A and B are shown apart, each in its own frame.
Chain A
Amino acid sequence: MTQIPHISRAIPDRLESPLATALKSWEMLLIVVAIAIFIANSLASPYFLNPWSLSDATFNFTEKAIIALAMAMVIISGEIDLSVASIIALASTAMGFALQFGADAPTLAAIGILVGIACGAFNGLLVSGLGLPSIVVTIGTMSLFRGISYIVLGDQAFRGYPRDFAWFGQGYVWWVVSFEIVLFLALAIVFYVLLHRTNFGRAVFAIGNNPLAAQFSGIRIRRVKFVLFVLTGLTAGIASVLLTARLGSTRPSIASGWELEIVTMVVLGGVSILGGSGSIAGVVIAAFIMGLVTFGLGLLNVPGIVMSIFVGVMLIVVIALPVVARRLRERRAV
């Protein structure tokens, strides 16, 4: 019924210019939102526009953002990993355990990252080896990984990490530029190249768009998916090192609820939850937006749980707005 007017509409003679496409892109919308939030923050609080507080603002989202980079690729391939926060807990517990035997800072970091990779490989094996749906597999391993931390720690905590280990989470590379943010930006470039500039990245998009066609065009779906879960585990391991070093202690409840914040970050960044589309640039900007919102609200003494309402509303509104806008345009065209 409403479909007919679309057919009669003229087909354009040429494609839009690249500049026009870029200006209409999701990333542009995100940048505008980020700038608006930045301005609102600086008007709302006199403490916001200060290099040190801006630097502080980056700490509360870089660890999540690092995982979001790999999560974006997993979601683009049509899967999801809900166990990332539990991998952080398990990797952190392993580091704390090694600490009891006097491991030094580089060993601790290596252990954390290796445990992350191992957990990711376990997920990958279940998803690609046995062909199970990732959402239920990772709901299971989510309880399993954090559960092991609870068995080891109970209501106790590991403390007493060495001073040079703390640098990973608290250190500054230059003036106000922290190690965490430098690492995040470096990883963002690595993931950008991996997703948008390599055959592997094309394979990820192909699998997300049409797994069957991808298989027929010779893409080893299982291997790609396995690698994606290992990558997610790897980034969770890295995040675990950073977070443990920043907090200076390990509790089994560390990073609880992060999986949903990370998925929110990825979806806000324009990655389709159904797979097949998205960009690393969008995820990076979305990470900054979430960081700015939570930090700005924090400066205004808004409690964390109220912030989560903002994040939830933002998630729904940002996804719903383009749909509503398109509907309105279509109605006008008719």
Chain B
Amino acid sequence: MSIVLKHREMILVAAIGLLLALISMRFPAFLEPRNLVRVFDDTSILAMLALGQMLVILTRCIDLSMAANLALCGMVVAMLNAAFPGVPVPALIAGGMVLGASLGALNGVLVWKLNMPSIVVTLGTMTIFRGSIFLLSGGQWVNAHQMDDAFKALPRTVALGLPVSSWIAVAVIGLFLILMSRAPLGRAFYAVGVNPTASVYAGINVGRTRFFAFTVAGMVAGLAGYLWVARYAVAYVDIAGGFELQIIAACVIGGVSIAGGIGTVPGAVLGALFLGVVNNALPVINVSPFAQMAISGAVITVAVIFNARNERKKGRIILKRAQGEGAA
């Protein structure tokens, strides 16, 4: 099983490598470490969000409200910073994460306690969160000059060769690796997705596990909200509009099965990186920015076709191995 999963990630690594090789044939500058760092930093927010979304998808749910959650937390953090410039940045980040987690928990409670389908709940909360940003801000922007310098500078500060926002992404990836492989909760996410009925018999509360998935996804969205607003130094109603679908696309490209139960941390991160490389390469190879949407659409469609074939193949391999073991 693990061989197959590693195999899937190896294919993604190879695809990214091939992509980089093709680009560097005409534009060697793209492969310079400085540029690769920039590409990674540009993708770090998407990678973190994809990990949060992965938890939700693993438990057979989906969270369409992540981008709206990000935008709402980003706006609140930016408005707090504009109104009370004295508040230290770490406190603001913590506040954003708590707010994000509570918005995620709201999704989770509706799914857990009222048994509502997650797609309906998050469709609703998505529009509610977006609308709330408008109500809070009155449609006004929070511009760069209203934010203080420490607030804007933190994600860009370079430490040990990487910007802080990249380090935060690395830390989040590390925490997810530990959560998914070493913590009972992480294993519960898989169990609920693979077989909810068996999970109940194994003593796992399916609803509560989903609640935690939504809460963690919300917390990640809150953190990403600060990073987004600080990085682009502006907050308005429509930031990260349509980003929810990019997040899901990163998961799908990374081999997370939309049917639940299948997906790995490296896979989701690589899926995000693949999209990130594509998005960053297009302007370099002089493709019109207007073509970007069609290309990412084509990439997603191809990835879906590819994934489905992979999943089918995997089923056969497991069967063969099981038979072989039985014979031995």
A141 and B291 within 8 A (CB): no
A130 and B305 within 8 A (CB): yes
B308 and A130 within 8 A (CB): yes
Known contacts A136-B248, A305-B237; decide if A323 and B127 are in contact (CB<8 Å).
Answer: no
List of A residues within 8 angstroms of B121 by Cβ:
316
A252 to B297, alpha carbons, bound, how many Å?
15
Which residue of A130, A146, A305 is within 8 Å of B130 (Cβ)?
A305
A147 and B301 within 8 A (CB): no
Which residue of B114, B131, B258, B290 is within 8 Å of A154 (Cβ)?
B290
A312 to B125, alpha carbons, bound, how many Å?
6
List of B residues within 8 angstroms of A80 by Cβ:
119
A203 to B318, alpha carbons, bound, how many Å?
34
B128 and A312 within 8 A (CB): yes
B294 and A151 within 8 A (CB): yes
B116 and A303 within 8 A (CB): no
Q: Is A15 an interface residue (CB 8 A)?
A: no
For A295-317 the 0/1 string (1 means CB < 8 A from B) is 00000000101101101110110
Which residue of B123, B131, B301 is within 8 Å of A140 (Cβ)?
B301
Q: Is B262 an interface residue (CB 8 A)?
A: no
B120 and A319 within 8 A (CB): yes
The residue of chain B having its C-beta at the shortest distance from the C-beta of A122 within the complex is B301
A309 and B128 within 8 A (CB): yes
Known contacts A147-B296, A313-B124; decide if A140 and B304 are in contact (CB<8 Å).
Answer: yes
Q: Is A142 an interface residue (CB 8 A)?
A: yes
A303 to B133, alpha carbons, bound, how many Å?
13
Q: Is B117 an interface residue (CB 8 A)?
A: yes
A153 to B291, alpha carbons, bound, how many Å?
10
List of B residues within 8 angstroms of A313 by Cβ:
124, 128
A147 and B123 within 8 A (CB): no
Segment touching B, from A46-54, A106-114, A183-191, A259-267: A259-267
A263 to B125, alpha carbons, bound, how many Å?
14
A41 to B293, alpha carbons, bound, how many Å?
41
Total interface residues on A, CB under 8 Å, equals 45
A9 to B114, alpha carbons, bound, how many Å?
24
A144 to B304, alpha carbons, bound, how many Å?
13
Q: What is the number of contacts between chain A and chain B, taking CB atoms within 8 Å?
A: 138
Q: Is B288 an interface residue (CB 8 A)?
A: yes
A6 to B295, alpha carbons, bound, how many Å?
56
B297 and A305 within 8 A (CB): no
A301 to B300, alpha carbons, bound, how many Å?
40
Q: Is A150 an interface residue (CB 8 A)?
A: yes
Interfacial residues of chain A within 89-113, with CB under 8 A of chain B in the complex? none
Interfacial residues of chain A within 153-167, with CB under 8 A of chain B in the complex? 153-155
Q: Is B269 an interface residue (CB 8 A)?
A: no
Q: Is A145 an interface residue (CB 8 A)?
A: yes
List of B residues within 8 angstroms of A154 by Cβ:
288, 290
Known contacts A154-B288, A309-B127; decide if A135 and B62 are in contact (CB<8 Å).
Answer: yes
Known contacts A144-B297, A148-B294; decide if A139 and B128 are in contact (CB<8 Å).
Answer: no
The residue of chain B having its C-beta at the shortest distance from the C-beta of A264 within the complex is B123
Q: Is B317 an interface residue (CB 8 A)?
A: no
A22 to B161, alpha carbons, bound, how many Å?
69
A154 to B245, alpha carbons, bound, how many Å?
21
Please give the distance in Å from A161's CB to the nearest CB on chain B: 23
A309 and B131 within 8 A (CB): yes
A151 and B290 within 8 A (CB): yes
A274 to B305, alpha carbons, bound, how many Å?
23
Q: Is B169 an interface residue (CB 8 A)?
A: no
Which residue of B116, B126, B252, B301 is within 8 Å of A319 (Cβ)?
B116
A133 to B60, alpha carbons, bound, how many Å?
13
List of A residues within 8 angstroms of B132 by Cβ:
309
Q: Is A37 an interface residue (CB 8 A)?
A: no
Interface centre among B131, B245, B308 (most CB of A within 10 A): B131
Please give the distance in Å from B270's CB to the nearest CB on chain A: 17
Interface centre among A140, A144, A303, A313 (most CB of B within 10 A): A140
Interface centre among A147, A267, A313 (most CB of B within 10 A): A147
List of A residues within 8 angstroms of B249 by Cβ:
139-140, 143
Interfacial residues of chain B within 81-124, with CB under 8 A of chain A in the complex? 110, 114-117, 119-121, 123-124
Q: Is A7 an interface residue (CB 8 A)?
A: no
For B292-321 the 0/1 string (1 means CB < 8 A from A) is 111111101101110010000000000000
List of B residues within 8 angstroms of A19 by Cβ:
none
Please give the distance in Å from A317's CB to the nearest CB on chain B: 9
A154 to B294, alpha carbons, bound, how many Å?
12
29 residue pairs A–B, Cβ–Cβ below 8 Å: A126-B301, A126-B305, A131-B308, A133-B259, A133-B308, A136-B248, A136-B300, A139-B245, A139-B248, A140-B249, A143-B245, A143-B249, A143-B297, A146-B297, A147-B294, A154-B290, A260-B64, A260-B126, A263-B123, A303-B134, A303-B139, A305-B130, A306-B134, A309-B128, A312-B124, A312-B125, A313-B128, A320-B114, A323-B114
